[in-house]
Structure 1
Amino acid sequence: MSILITSATSASAHKLKNKLNTPDVLLGDHADLPDFMVKSTGLLKLPSPVSVSYQHEMLTLCLDKGINAVYVLTVQELDLLRESELLFKEYNIDILDGQIEI
């Protein structure tokens, strides 16, 4: 199983990744990422939080990638995912406030 950290283009995401110190950490961002960053560094393109189906798109991504914990670094994404936290729990996926962990 893997861990996903959002806001991959931020320094906070890389700081948290180093703090977790596990090889199963994936970084993702909904911001426009150049193709070379996605291909060369393995960053995941995340759904946009302005999408009406954001929570379902994130759940699908987590299930497809075998993610069991999501560290969320933006308030907007955290608020949306917390609304669907029960649904994520049904699939054993934890939604965590990444700012607390840094």
Structure 2
Amino acid sequence: MDFKQLKYFLTVVEEGAISSAARRIPLAQPALSRQLQLLEEDVGTPLLSRSRHGVRLTAAGEAFSRDTRRLLADFEQAKQNARRIADGHLGRLRLG
């Protein structure tokens, strides 16, 4: 599992269909489907219910989606904090 797969998963959830998510990313639809399959194998359960009309989250997918959004937001915050520290805008102030 990697961050790309997590971002792909959330894009599919937002779009409601693998084909439209593939266009938005951009990535070939079969390649995106494979990444989702690998993610589900890694998680150990189906996250999406697929049909001709698009995709829906399974119960496990609902929980995974919430946790993934939180994880990616925390990751982005951690990157920003690291950059701000490196630039001298954030860090410890010592007096005395």
The TM-score with structure 1 as length reference comes to 0.25
Q: Please report the TM-score for the alignment, with normalisation by the length of structure 2.
A: 0.26
Higher relative contact order (CA 8 A, sep 6+): 1
Structure showing greater Rg: 2
More strand by share: 1
> Which protein has the bigger helix share?
2
